[in-house]
Structure 1
Amino acid sequence: MSKDVGNVARGHKAAINNPNVSEEAKDHSRQVLEELEQSGELENANTNHEGNVARGHKANLSNPHTSEESKQRSEQVLEDLGEK
């Protein structure tokens, strides 16, 4: 698969949780997600996603228009990610 593995995975996860999607389609989505996990591609996509999450929370900390509660949450997320 390409660099968009994270988007593909998110789409299949959404399909699995959507009550309007047929069981056949949900089974297909489960199969695709399992193949991504087995190939290791999903792990790489999650790593890239975590980097984006960390950058967003770092930006939140320096934003003067952000509440203290939001900044505390960002600090906790960064600590959990090992970024602080």
Structure 2
Amino acid sequence: MNAGDVICGREANLDNPNTSEESKQHSREVLDNEYDGGNVDAGSGDKNPNNVARDLKATLNNPKVSDEAKQGAKECLN
């Protein structure tokens, strides 16, 4: 798993209202201790651009996703 995948997963956990505070704290610690607070270039992995775009579009259409996450997905698509 590349750094971008880990960072995206941890940040998604932080934004998820259904995860526990303990889980969110662990994600904060991982981001702070291993990924400079999430400031690693998330595009450094070898992701298929079509798959990324598909996933971002799915985020926009998912009613369970927060408005903040949808805004982030819109920015990434642009």
TM-score (normalised: structure 2) = 0.48
**Higher share in helix:** 1
